[in-house]
Structure 1
Amino acid sequence: MSDEEFEQQGLTLSHKVSLFAMFITMTVVLASTGFDEFTQYRRAAADGEEQIKVLGKVTAFSIAAPAMFGDAVAAKSVLDALRAESNVVKAQLIIAEDKPLAVYQRTPTAVDADIERITIPVQWQLQDVGDLVIDVDVSKLNNQLWRQIRFSLFLTLTALLVAGLCVYLMVSIVTKPFRRLADVAERIVSEHDYSLRAVAVSRSDEVGYLTRAFNSMLDSIESQNRDLQDAQKISLGNERRLMLATSAAGLGVWDYDLNAKTVLWDKKMCSIYGVKYNAHGQRDSLFLERLHPDDRDEVIAKYEGVKEQGDELFSVFRIICPDGSIKHVRSNAMLLRDTDGRPSRMIGISLDDTSRELTEAALQNAEKLAQERLSESHIANAKLSFQKRALDEHAIVSIANDKGEITYANEKFCNICGYSRAELIGTDNRLVISDKYQRDFFENIVKEVMSGKIWSGDLENTTKSGDSFWVSATIIPSVSDAGEVASYITIGTDITQIKRAEAALRRSQKMESVGELAGGLAHDFNNLLGIIIGNLDLIGDQVETNQNLKNRLEVAQTAALRGSMLTRSLLDFARKSDGGHRPVDVGVVISGFEELIRKSLTAVVSLETNCSEGLFLVQLNPADLQDALINLSLNARDAMPEGGALVIKAQNVTIDANRIDSEINLEPGDYLEISVGDTGVGMSRELCDKIFDPFFTTKGKAEGTGLGLSIVYGFIQRAKGRIFVFSELGEGAIFKMYFPRATEVIDHQKKPSWSISSHSTGIETILVVDDEVELTVIAKSALEGLGYTVLCANNGDAALDILENNSAIDLVFSDIVMPGGITGLDLAALISKYYPRVKILLTSGFSGEIDSPESEAGEPYKMIKKPYRAMELARRVREALDEPI
C-alpha cells in the first residue's frame, strides 16, 4: 500500500512504523518457531520411518524361508511377532501373482488414523521370492505436531502484543517534534506566508538538525520568490519587443501548452490559417484539421520525434484554408521541458511560403521536361543490365559463335566447370561435354540450332578435374539482320543433385526386386538344409560309439551350417527390417575379427587397424558388420594383386549444421565412421557409381557374383547408415561407412546357458504342421525322443481336422509359408480364436514381414527360424509349453 493510501486512511507515521515493527516481529517469530517445529517433526518422522524399515528388514529376513517354500503357518508366526510394535496395524507377505501368503491385522487406534505403507522385498539366496507389506499408524506423530503448533501460535500472539505496545510508546515519543514541523508547513501552504518559521530548538540530535534545515529552506524559498518577480518584469519587456519584430517580418507566433492542451495564436498566425483571432486561444486540434492529408503523417512523426529527443523542430508542409485554397507553410519551433526533463511547452513561428514554393515548382517542371528525353535512353540499358545480372546469378550462361567457339561465359559457368574465363574464351564449346556422347550427337544439336530452332534437354558435362555434372540446358539461336544465325546462347540449370537422387532411387528399387528373389530362394534352400541338418542330428544320436563315423557327421554338419549362414546372408539381403540389431561397440567387433580378416588376405597385403578410444555405440547386427568388413577386405585384396596395404579405421565424427560438405551429405548429429582403404588400382568415377548395383562385377564369370557390395549396401541401409566411396584410377580406394550414434547402452548381463539335459523330457502332445514331409518326420523323431506325443499334418486343413477330433493337443508347431489354402499365420489365428488353451510355435525359412509375426490382438507369436538344430527345437518347444496362458 502506498503512502498516499495510508494518509487517506488516516494512518500517521507512528502508526506506519508501529505496524511495520509488529510485522517484522511476527514474521521472525513465526519463521523461527515454524522452522524449529518442522525440523523436530522431520527428525521424529525420519527416526520412526528408520525404525520401521529396520524392523521390516529383520522380519523380511526371518520370513524369507517360509516365503520360498510356501509355509503359511511359519510366515503367520513371524508376522504375529509384530504385535509388540503398537504402531504396526497390518502386515502381509505377498508372493507370486500378488497373492498374500500370510496376514497379520490389528485394529487401528482411531477411525480416522493416518496409515503409511512400506514395501520391502523378501529374498532367499539373493533371489526375490515375494514382498513384505507393512501398514504403520502415524496418527500419534501427527497429533503431537498439532499440539506443538498450537502452543507456538499462542507464544507468537503474546510476543506480538507485547512488541506492538512497546513500539507504539516509543514511536509516539520520537514523532512528536515532526508533528510540530508539519503544523508550520501546513500554515505556510494555506496562508502563502513564507516569513513563518519553526520554533528553534537547541537539541543537537536529528530533530534539531531537521528544524534548522527546514528554516534554512524557507529562507531560500523567500529569496527565490523575490528573484522570480524581478525576472517576470524583464521577460514582459522582452516579449513586447519580440512581438514587434515578428510582426514586421510577417511571422505568425504560436504557443502550445502540452500539459493543458491549449494553443495561443497571434493575429498573423490566424491570418495565415484563415481563422478569427481569439485571445483565449484556439482548439489544439485545429492545426491537425488544417494539415494537408499527404503531409500529415510526416509532420506528426517529426513532432513526436522532437518530444522523444531533441529541442528544435523545422518543417515544411501544406495547409487547406477554409476557402479551399492550399498554402505552403514553413515553421520553426522550440521544445521546452520541465525540471524532470519531460516536454511541457512548445513555442514557434510560422511563415506563409506559398509564392516561393510555386516559383520553385515551375522551375522543377521545366527541368524535368528537359531530362525526360535524356533518361529514356538509359531505361533500356538499365533493363538489359538487370536481366544480365539475374542470369549471371541464377543460371549457367555461355555464348558461342557460328564456328562453335565460346565468346562469353558467365561466372557461374566458370565456377561449376572449374575453368577460368580466359581458358574458355576462344575454345570449342564441346570442351566440357562428357565423352559419353558420340560426336554426331552434338553435331545434330548444332545443326538444329543453326537452322533457327531452339533445343532443350539434359546434358552430362565434365569439369576440369574430370568430375561429372548435369545441366538442364536450353540453346537459343541469335539471328543477324541478314537472317542468318550468327551465334547461339546456352542457358542452363545445375541438376546434378537431381540426377544423383534419381540414380539412388533406381538402385534402391533394383535392390528391392533382387531382395524379393533372394528371399524366395533362401526359403526353399532353408527347407532343404533343415532336412539335412535334422537327419544329421538324428544320426548323430545313434553313432555315439563310432568315433570315425561321428567325425564324418560333424564335417557334414559343419558344411550344412555354412550353407545355413549363406542363406542367412541372402535373407539379410532381402530383409527390410533391422532384426538382430542392438547397441554394439565396433572397436570390440573389429579387434575380435582382425585375425580372420588377416588370414583372408594374401601374404603381400599388410593389414592395419586403428580404432579410436571412446567410440560411440551404434545400433546394428554385429554379424552383418563382420560380413561387410570381409566383403570390403576381399575386394581390396583383389585390387592389390602386386601387394599393398589395407587400413581399417573407426572414429567418432560430429556433423555440424553450419558445415557444408558436398561429398558427404549427412544430417547434423553424432556418427561413428568406419573406413576401409586400400592402395590398389583404384576406380573411375563411372565405376564408383555402379559398384553397389546387384550383379555388377568387374571380375571374370567364375570369380565373382556381383552381390558382395549389394549385400553391404543393404546392411548399411537397415542400420540407418550411409556409405560413400572415394577413388581415382591408380590412387587406391576408400569406403567410408557412417552409422548414427545409438541412444541405448549395452546389456552386459549374461544369459543362462541351456542344454537338452537340463530340460530332458516332456509328456505333452504336440501337433507338427509342415508341407515338407521330411521336416515333419525329423521334428517328430526329435520330439518323441524327448518323451512327447507327436502328431503330424502336411497342411492347415489337416491340422484343423486333427484339432477338432483331439482335445489332448497342448502345442501346435507349424510352418508359416505353406502353399495353397491355410497358411501358418491363418492357422495360428484360428487356434487363438477357437482353441485358446493350445500353445503356438511358428517356424519359417523366409525373412521379411514375417520375421516377428503377431496375433490379431498385437501379441507376438513364439518363433524359431529354419534350419534349426534338435537342441534349439527342444528348448523353444519347452519354453512355449511352460509359458502361462
Structure 2
Amino acid sequence: MSRQAGPRAARRRAARGRGWERCGLPITIEKLPMRHEGFGGSEAMVPDGEWLRLWRLFEKIGIGLVWIAADGRIGAANPFAQKLLGLSSDGIVGQRAGETPVAAFSVDGAPIPAQSLPCLEALGSGREIRGRVMGLSGVGRGELVWVNLEVIPVLHPDSCAVLGAWAVLEDITERKRVEDSLRRSIAENRTLVENVPGAVFRCELAPPWRVSFLSAGALSVTGYPPEDFTSGKRAWADIMAPEEVERVAGIVQQAREERRPYEVEYRIRHADGSERWVQERGQAVFSAEGEPLWLDGVVIDVTARKQADRALRESEAWLRESQRISRIGSYSLDVKTGLWKGSEALDEIFGIGPDYKRDVAGWSELVHPDHREQMLEYFQKEVLEKRKPFDREYMIVRRSDGQRRWVLGRGSLTLNEAGEPVAMTGTIQDVTERRVMEEQLAAAQRMEAVGRLAGGIAHDFNNILTVINGYADFTLRLLPPDSPFRASLAEIRNAGERAASLTRQLLAFSRRQMVTPERLNLNALIREAVSLLARLLGEKVRLETDLAEDLGWVQADPSQMHQILLNFSANARDAMPEGGVLTIQTANAEISEAEAALHPEARPGSFIRLSVADTGTGMDAETLEHLFEPFFTTKPHGQGTGLGLATVYGIVKQSGGWIEVQSAPGAGSTFAVFLPRAEAPVAETGGAGETAVRLAARVVLVVDDQPDVRHFAATVLRSAGYEVLEAASGEQALALCGGYGGRIDAVLTDIVMPGMSGRDLALLLAANHPEIKVVYMSGHAGDPQVRQSLMASGDLFLLKPFGPADLVAKLRQATGGFRRGA
C-alpha cells in the first residue's frame, strides 16, 4: 500500500511519533490514557497496569499538567497545576479555558484576553505552542505566578482530528524574579558605568591592551568613540606616549602577580593632538582555576589636576626661593598646644633641622639670652592677652653655628567664636644686614656730625693759632739772640705748634684738610716706608708684606698715605705687647653690586685694597662701634689722643674710599682701605723755572673777616716790602679793587667768610681783573666741591696757622717776586 500523502498524512505521522518527554511521560500518543471521562472515554488504548502507573506519575510529577478537551473544557489537572492555578480540581475540571477565575498576563504585564489564550490557539490550529511565558493570578493570591507554558495538541491516529491538548506549566516564578533583578541590575550598572567620570574598560592583560568593552566616557577622555577600540581599529597602547608603555606594563604585571589592584598615571595623545594626563585604576580578573582572564578598570582624565599640581609646585618653589633670597621664613603656631610649623627658609634662619622641637620653649631657646625674658613677656602680655599683632625685632642665636642674628618677627592671631586666640601665622625675616647697615649709617652720621664740629673748631682755633704762632715767630725774629724773653717766647711757639698739629688731625678727620693728590703706586710707597715702619714696630713684631705685582694706581696725597701706614702700624704695635706679625697687603679689587651692598660706604667699581693685619689682642663689638670717633681711645690716659684712626678715616673718605674692619677678641685685627683705582700717570717734561728779579714792590690786598689775622698778615707782608691793602669782607675787597688808582698784583683771601666767600670773590676778580693773582687761606677748605675746584684750578692755598716765612714764600710764588721799576 502506498504511503499517505498531503498535510493530513503528515499530521498523522507526527501524531504517531510525538513523545511525552516534555511531560515526563515515557509513552507515545497511541497510549494516551483515555479511560477517564475527561480524556474522551476511549479506554482501549492503554492497558490497565500501565494506566495506573501513568496516573500515579500524573499525580506526583513536579510539573503542572492540564488536559483540555477539543471543546475547550478542562478535563483534568494534576495537583501541581492546581497549586499553580490556585484552584482545586473541582474548581477547574469541567470549566472552559478562559472562564476560570484565573487571569493570565503577558510578560509586559498586559492582561491576555480569554479568546487569545495559548491553549485555545493550539486547539484551533492543531499546532504546538512552546516557551510562552505567562503570569497567572490565582484566587486569593496577591502576586503572580510565572509559568513557562507549552501546549501540545493530541490528534487522532487515523483521522488526525484534534482530540484535545495537554498544557504543560513549568513554575519559573523564582527564575523570573532573578532574571528581573538581574535585568534591573544590568540597567542600573549600565547607567552607573555610563555616568562614571572617565572610561570604564575591559581589556587584555598585556600590551597593546586590545579592548573588549569601553564605556561612553572614553570619548571625553581620549577624543575617540568607544567603538574605535572595541572594533579593533585601535588598541589602548596606540594612544599612549611610547615611552610610557613599558613602565605601565611593568606596574600592571606586578599588581597582577600579587593579585592586588593597581593605580598608575601616564600620558596619552588625545584625538585633538594635545597631550593629556590620565589616571588608570584596575585589577586583573581570574577564573575559578586561578588563571588571569582580563583587566577591568577605569581611566580618568587628570590633566587639570596635574597642571594644578605643577602650578602649585612651581608656586611653592617660587615661594621657597623668594623666602630664601629675601631671608623671610613663614610659620604657623597652634596657640592651644604651643606647637608651630615653619618653612624651609625659617629653618635656615634659625639654623635648625627637622628634629628640632618646634614649640614655644624651643623658640625661646633660640632667642638670645639678653632678649629671651623680654620676648616671652611680650608674647604673653601684648600678643595673647591684649590680642595685638606680633611685631618685634629681636636677636637670636642660630642653633647650627652659634651666630647672633637679628630677626623681625610679625604675626597675626586667629580667634575662635569666643574671641580666644587659637592660632597665629606670620613671618620671621633675617634683618641682620639691615641692622648692621643702619648701625654703620648711624655711626657714619655721627662721624659726619663730629667731623663738622671738629672742622669748625679747627677753623676757629687755626685763626687764633695763626695770630699766636705768627706773632711769636715775628717777635722771635726781632729779638736779639741774648734776649731774656727769647726762651719764653720759644715755648709759646712750641705749644702753638702742638696745638696746630692737633687741629691738622681734626681737619684730616673732618675731611676739610687741603691735600695735594698725585698718581701713586702704593707698592712703591710701602717699600720706601718699610724701614721706618720696622723701627716703629720694634724687635718683637715681625713685618711682612704681600704686594700685588700688577697693582694699579691711586690718586692720593703721599704724605696722607704715609700717615695711614704709620697710624695702623702704631696701633698694631700697641695691640701686640708680647710681639706678633704685622702684614701689609695690596691687591686690585673689583667690587660688585652685591658686595657693595654689604657696606654702606662702598660702591661698585675698580679699587685698590690696602690691608694691614695684626695678630694682636683684637677688639670687641663695643670698641668696633666707636673705633673711628675722634678722641675715642682704649689706651691708658696720656698715651693716646684718640685722633689717630679718626684722622685715617677722614683721609680715606677725603680720597674717595672707605675702610672695612674685621676683628674679634683674641683674633687680631685687619683694616682694609679701599681707594678708587686711577689711570697710570703720563710722563711729562718740565721746563726750566724762571729766576725772580727783585725790583719794584708788589701790591697785595689782604681779605679776612678776623681783624687779628688780617692785621698779622698785613704786618708780615709790609715788613717783607709789600704794599698792603686790607678788607674785612669780599664786598669791601671788590670796592677797593674798583676804586684803587694803582695796580693790585695779588689778593690774599680767607675762604670761609660771612656773606661773599673767598671763592666767590676770586671768581668775580677773574672776570673783571684777570691780571690779579689769588692766594687762598683758611683753617679748613670748607665745602668738598670748593676743595676739588681749588685743586683743579691750581690756585695757591695757605693753611692756617701759618708763620711769616710761609706767608711771604706763598706770596712770592704768586707774584713772582717784585715788579720791574719804571
TM class, shorter-length: 0.5 to 0.7
* Residue number in structure 2 paired with 1:649: 584
* Residue number in structure 2 paired with 1:494: 430
Q: Is the 8 A contact 1:854 1:861 kept in 2?
A: no
Q: Distance in 2 between matches of 1:433 and 1:609?
A: 43
Q: Does 1:847 align with 2:781?
A: yes
Q: Is the 8 A contact 2:752 2:782 kept in 1?
A: no
Q: Distance in 1 between matches of 2:347 and 2:626?
A: 29
Q: Is the 8 A contact 1:449 1:488 kept in 2?
A: no
Q: Does 1:738 align with 2:671?
A: no
Q: Does 1:878 align with 2:812?
A: yes
Q: Which amino acid aligns with 2:505?
A: S
Q: Distance in 1 between matches of 2:377 and 2:408?
A: 18
Structure-1-length-normalised TM-score: 0.50
TM-aligned CA distance change 1:357 to 1:412, over 3 Å: closer
> What count of residue pairs does the alignment treat as equivalent?
525
Higher helix share: 1
Secondary structure of the corresponding residue to residue 371 of structure 2: coil
Secondary structure of the corresponding residue to residue 678 of structure 2: coil
1:810 to 737, 744, 768: 744
2:616 to 680, 688, 707: 680
Cα deviation for residue 485 of structure 1 reads 4.7
TM-aligned CA distance change 1:635 to 1:317, over 3 Å: same
Q: Does 1:529 align with 2:465?
A: yes
Cα deviation for residue 839 of structure 1 reads 4.1
Cα deviation for residue 568 of structure 1 reads 2.6
Q: Distance in 1 between matches of 2:549 and 2:419?
A: 74
TM-aligned CA distance change 1:461 to 1:803, over 3 Å: same
Cα deviation for residue 429 of structure 1 reads 0.4
Deviations 1:671-718 (A, max 9, x none): 432222222332334543443455555456766555443433332233
Q: Which amino acid aligns with 1:434?
A: H
Q: Identity rate of aligned residues, in percent?
A: 28
Any stretches of 5+ residues in structure 2 without a counterpart? 1-221, 225-232, 235-269, 273-277, 282-297
* Residue number in structure 1 paired with 2:718: 784
* Residue number in structure 2 paired with 1:268: none
* Residue number in structure 2 paired with 1:140: none
* Residue number in structure 1 paired with 2:524: 588
Q: Which amino acid aligns with 2:584?
A: K
Structure-2-length-normalised TM-score: 0.53
Q: Does 1:629 align with 2:571?
A: no
Q: Is the 8 A contact 1:679 1:732 kept in 2?
A: yes
Q: Is the 8 A contact 1:578 1:620 kept in 2?
A: no
Q: Distance in 2 between matches of 1:745 and 1:708?
A: 31
* Residue number in structure 2 paired with 1:510: 446
Q: Does 1:691 align with 2:627?
A: yes
* Residue number in structure 2 paired with 1:434: 368
* Residue number in structure 2 paired with 1:456: 391
Secondary structure of the corresponding residue to residue 571 of structure 1: helix
Cα deviation for residue 519 of structure 1 reads 1.5
Secondary structure of the corresponding residue to residue 412 of structure 1: helix
Q: Which amino acid aligns with 1:677?
A: A
Higher mean Cα deviation, 873-882 or 693-702?
693-702
Q: Is the 8 A contact 1:432 1:463 kept in 2?
A: yes
Secondary structure of the corresponding residue to residue 744 of structure 2: strand
Q: Which amino acid aligns with 2:529?
A: F
TM-aligned CA distance change 1:804 to 1:743, over 3 Å: closer
Any stretches of 5+ residues in structure 1 without a counterpart? 1-315, 319-328, 331-355, 359-363
Deviations 1:295-327 (A, max 9, x none): xxxxxxxxxxxxxxxxxxxxx999xxxxxxxxx
TM-aligned CA distance change 1:876 to 1:487, over 3 Å: same
Q: Distance in 2 between matches of 1:533 and 1:658?
A: 50
Cα RMSD for the two superposed structures: 5.1
Cα deviation for residue 563 of structure 1 reads 3.7
Q: Does 1:724 align with 2:657?
A: no
* Residue number in structure 2 paired with 1:469: 405
Q: Distance in 2 between matches of 1:374 and 1:552?
A: 103
Deviations 1:629-679 (A, max 9, x none): 3333333344344x2324131222444869979978976665432222222
Deviations 1:501-555 (A, max 9, x none): 3333323322222222111111112122222333344345445866999898777
Q: Which amino acid aligns with 1:421?
A: P
Q: Distance in 2 between matches of 1:428 and 1:865?
A: 64
Q: Distance in 1 between matches of 2:687 and 2:461?
A: 31
TM-aligned CA distance change 1:419 to 1:689, over 3 Å: farther
* Residue number in structure 2 paired with 1:519: 455
Q: Is the 8 A contact 1:649 1:675 kept in 2?
A: yes
Deviations 1:242-300 (A, max 9, x none): xxxxxxxxxxxxxxxxxxxxxxxxxxxxxxxxxxxxxxxxxxxxxxxxxxxxxxxxxxx
Secondary structure of the corresponding residue to residue 428 of structure 1: helix
* Residue number in structure 2 paired with 1:396: 329
Higher mean Cα deviation, 378-387 or 427-436?
378-387
* Residue number in structure 1 paired with 2:343: 410
Q: Which amino acid aligns with 2:744?
A: D
Q: Is the 8 A contact 2:775 2:796 kept in 1?
A: yes
Secondary structure of the corresponding residue to residue 519 of structure 1: helix
Higher mean Cα deviation, 869-878 or 386-395?
386-395
Q: Is the 8 A contact 1:829 1:855 kept in 2?
A: no
Secondary structure of the corresponding residue to residue 680 of structure 2: coil
TM-aligned CA distance change 1:687 to 1:418, over 3 Å: farther
Q: Is the 8 A contact 1:398 1:406 kept in 2?
A: no
TM-aligned CA distance change 1:533 to 1:449, over 3 Å: closer
TM-aligned CA distance change 1:625 to 1:764, over 3 Å: closer
Radius of gyration: which is bigger?
Answer: 2
